[in-house]
Amino acid sequence: MACVLLFSRLLPFSHRLTRTSICLLSLFISYLCYCVLFPADTIMQKSGDPPPSCQRVLADGGKRRLHKSLSCVLPREPKPNSVDASRIKPLTSLHTVRNDTPSPPLGNLKFGNKKLPNAIIVGVKKGGTRAVLEFIRIHPDVRAAGTETHFFDRNYDRGLEWYRGLMPRTLESQITMEKTPSYFVTKETPHRISDMSRDTKLIVVVRDPVTRAISDYTQTLSKTPELPSFQELAFRNQSLGIVDTSWNAIRIGLYALHLENWLRFFPLAQIHFVSGERLITDPAGELARVQDFLGLKRIVTDKHFYFNRTKGFPCLKKPESSGSPRCLGKSKGRTHVQIDRDAIEQLRDFYRPYNVKFYEMVGHDFKWE
């Protein structure tokens, strides 16, 4: 419009100009108007050049790009009311701008955190602790360390952060567990676990102490064939029925004495006792009680087990993703060494008062007679 008005002012003089001159003059005036209304730097910019804020003017008049400035990568915030906000997609990550940087593959992402255990299977050796751990790990809300950590009895000087590092990653809703059977008979362990957390739930797998001692001896004998006979180790004087309580295989079975130490630091309600015998005959029933104690939904049921007649021990039925069932290792269900019947009866007489006291302490008769 401005060009038309300007040209109309020149009409009185147009009779002096040729038609060609008039056309050239009109084009020139139009060009001037266009340049005034639309500056060149807002209309056309080379796609390869960065915006002015990403360039530095050098002394020789050249320009250098600044790649380290975040403003050279991310677009500037739009001024209020300058652009329709509904048409702007939010910038969720730098990958939306830097397409040359690949996103990390999902398989490498680590979910959850390493936490100190909420529950610990503290004993007893050859009672069935490995079975309880493997069976309860079927539950989707349980994650457990695969190996015995021995933190509270052998590695306590390494510190809690070292201990935490041994734990699996768990989600907030999952329980972290570990098992070390020697904890139950280690004097310092209850105090140390209490210092870590007084809310820690404790699981003790107990078994007829005579049968447990024979199983313990059988395992040791498989590793040390030159071991003395069971009777030599179990008795100071077998003819008088004097039992050697310094032998670890005998000492572990004094459950009542060990429990007294634990009750100095934890209430009985925070300790759950699993019957090693019932774990063999009714694994689903024992695991149901373990799940109740841990506050878990009863997901591990009888559908997960079958009895292996060769081992004389329950095994886990094969999962859909596996081609074979899961049984415990070769050391589980091992045939026991034959022990003289008189020696067994002497040991039963020795353990009887300790067993009765243990029944009274926990409020349950395990019927080991």
Let me know if residue 113 belongs to a domain. Answer: yes
Average pLDDT over residues 356-369: 96
Per-residue b/e over 61-84, b at no fewer than 16 CB within 10 Å? eeeeeeeeeeeeeeeeeeeeeeee
What DSSP state is assigned to residue 237?
A: E
Let me know if residue 262 belongs to a domain. Answer: yes
Residue 293's domain comprises: 95-209+250-332
Angle at 208 between CA 204 and CA 213, to 5 degrees: 95
Average pLDDT over residues 197-202: 98
Q: What is the pLDDT of residues 127-182, one digit of tens each?
A: 999 999 999 999 999 999 989 999 999 999 999 999 999 999 999 999 999 999 99
Let me know if residue 137 belongs to a domain. Answer: yes
Residue pair 259/202 in contact (Cβ under 8 Å)? The answer is no
Let me know if residue 261 belongs to a domain. Answer: yes
Report percent pLDDT > 90 for the chain: 61
The pLDDT score that the predictor gives to residue 165 is 97
Q: What is the pLDDT of residues 243-271, one digit of tens each?
A: 999 999 999 999 999 999 999 999 999 99
The pLDDT score that the predictor gives to residue 26 is 66
Let me know if residue 111 belongs to a domain. Answer: yes
Residue 317's pLDDT band (cuts 50, 70, 90): confident
Average pLDDT score, the chain: 80
Residue 345's pLDDT band (cuts 50, 70, 90): very high
Residue 341, pLDDT > 90, answer: yes
- Detail the residues annotated as belonging to a binding site: 126-130, 207, 215, 332-336
Establish whether 367 is a catalytic residue: no
Q: What is the pLDDT of residues 65-90, one digit of tens each?
A: 444 433 444 444 444 444 444 443 44
Let me know if residue 355 belongs to a domain. Answer: no
Overall number of domains in the chain:
1
Q: Which of 126, 201, 303, 357 is catalytic?
A: 126
- Detail the residues annotated as belonging to a binding site for 3'-phosphoadenylyl sulfate: 126-130, 207, 215, 332-336
Let me know if residue 87 belongs to a domain. Answer: no
The DSSP line for 117-182 is -SEEEEE-TTTTHHHHHHHHTTSTTEEE-SS---TTTTSGGG-HHHHHHTSPEE-TTSEEEEE-GG
Q: What is the pLDDT of residues 20-52, one digit of tens each?
A: 666 566 676 766 655 655 554 444 444 444 444
Q: What is the pLDDT of residues 106-136, one digit of tens each?
A: 333 468 999 999 999 999 999 999 999 999 9
Let me know if residue 288 belongs to a domain. Answer: yes
The pLDDT score that the predictor gives to residue 27 is 72
| Domain containing residue 121: CATH number | 3.40.50.300
Residue 118, exposed/middle/buried by CB under 10 A (0-12, 13-18, 19+)? middle
Angle at 135 between CA 131 and CA 141, to 5 degrees: 140
